[in-house]
Amino acid sequence: MNDIWTPIRLTLELAFITTFVLLSIGTPVAWWLARSRARWKEVAATIVALPLVLPPTVLGFYLLILLGPQGPGGWLAGLWGGRSLAFTFPGLVIGSTVYSLPFVVQPIRNGFEAFGNRPLEAAATLRAGPWDAFWSVAVPLARPGFLTGAVLGFAHTVGEFGVVLMIGGNIPGQTKVLSVAIYDYVESLQWTEASLLAGLMVAFAFAVILTVTVFEKRVARPGR
């Protein structure tokens, strides 16, 4: 019974770190997709969006190859004496990031596109350089997109199962997250633990969606 806390702690850790990585990678990608006039940007957008459609097992399979000893993940792990990134926590973060990227990029891109060119032009005529205008105008105006992206990325990471199972396996304390733990409890007929964790997930999902809805309404309301 006491070890249900290990997967919960691990899941939260994974979700927070992944959300942070997702925002750091997703923001420049979303900015580029929103502002670039390159013709092939929709091709790039499609690649980012692929995890939306692919079965998690397909994604997990490719990630497993990439993270494994023969892939770039293995080479990377070699830098600190490891053999592979598969079946490790860093590997899990990488996998979750790829898997949840579209859920973060799309809302942020929409947020950047929603206000058009004008506010940035106005900022430029008021002596704000590109970097300054990005932080003082673009980010605050795209705030609803950031909020939605962050919450979706977090929640999606908490809830993933297929990819984790493919690349993380089931190592307690290292890669055994909530969703996998529930599966295990059911497999070994530990219904109490399974229903406890499952109930927690339901409550969590409910709280997330309610928070986002309420918050978005408040953000959308004009004035102060």
Partner 1 sequence: MSAGAGESAIEFTLAGRLGDFALDVVFAAPMRGVTALFGPSGSGKTTILRCAAGLQRLSGRLQVGEDVWQDDAAGVFRPPHRRPIGYVFQEASLFPHLSVRDNLRFGAKRALPEHGVGALDFADIVKLLGIGHLLDRAPAALSGGERQRVAIGRALLSQPRLLLMDEPLASLDRLTKDEILPHLEAVHESLAIPILYVSHDIGEIERLADTLVLLENGRVAAAGELAVLQADLELPLARAPEAAVTLEGAVVGADETYALTTFAVAGGTLIVPGRQGGRGDRRRLRISASDVSFSRAAPEETTILNCLPVRIHSVSRHDRDAVQMNIVVGLGDDGGGARIVGRVTRKSQEALGLTAGRRVFAQIKSVALLASGAGGGPRHRAIAQSQQEKADEAQRA
> Could you give the CA distance from residue 62 to residue 67 in angstroms, rounded to a whole number?
9
Distance in Å, CB of 168 to partner 1, minimum: 40
Amino acid identity of 7? P
Q: Does 224 bind partner 1 (CB under 8 A)?
A: yes
Cβ proximity to partner 1: between 81 and 129 the closer is 129
DSSP-derived secondary structure for 19-48: HHHHHHHHHHHHHHHHH---TTHHHHHHHH
> Could you give the CA distance from residue 20 to residue 95 in angstroms, rounded to a whole number?
14
Q: Does 136 bind partner 1 (CB under 8 A)?
A: yes
Asked if 100 contacts 18 with a C-beta cutoff of 8 angstroms, the reply is yes
Distance in Å, CB of 122 to partner 1, minimum: 5
Distance of CA 139 to the CA centre of its chain: 19
Stretch that binds partner 1, among 3-11, 13-21, 133-141, 162-170 (CB under 8 A): 133-141
- The residue count of the chain comes to 224
Determine which residue in the list 55, 72, 78, 140 makes contact with partner 1, applying CB under 8 A.
140
Determine which residue in the list 38, 50, 122, 205 makes contact with partner 1, applying CB under 8 A.
122
Which candidate, 52, 7, 2, places its Cα nearest to that of 198?
A: 7
Determine which residue in the list 123, 147, 152, 165 makes contact with partner 1, applying CB under 8 A.
123
Determine which residue in the list 33, 67, 92, 137 makes contact with partner 1, applying CB under 8 A.
137
> Could you give the CA distance from residue 33 to residue 86 in angstroms, rounded to a whole number?
30
Which residues are near partner 1 by CB under 8 A? Answer: 118-119, 121-130, 132-133, 136-137, 140-141, 143, 222-224
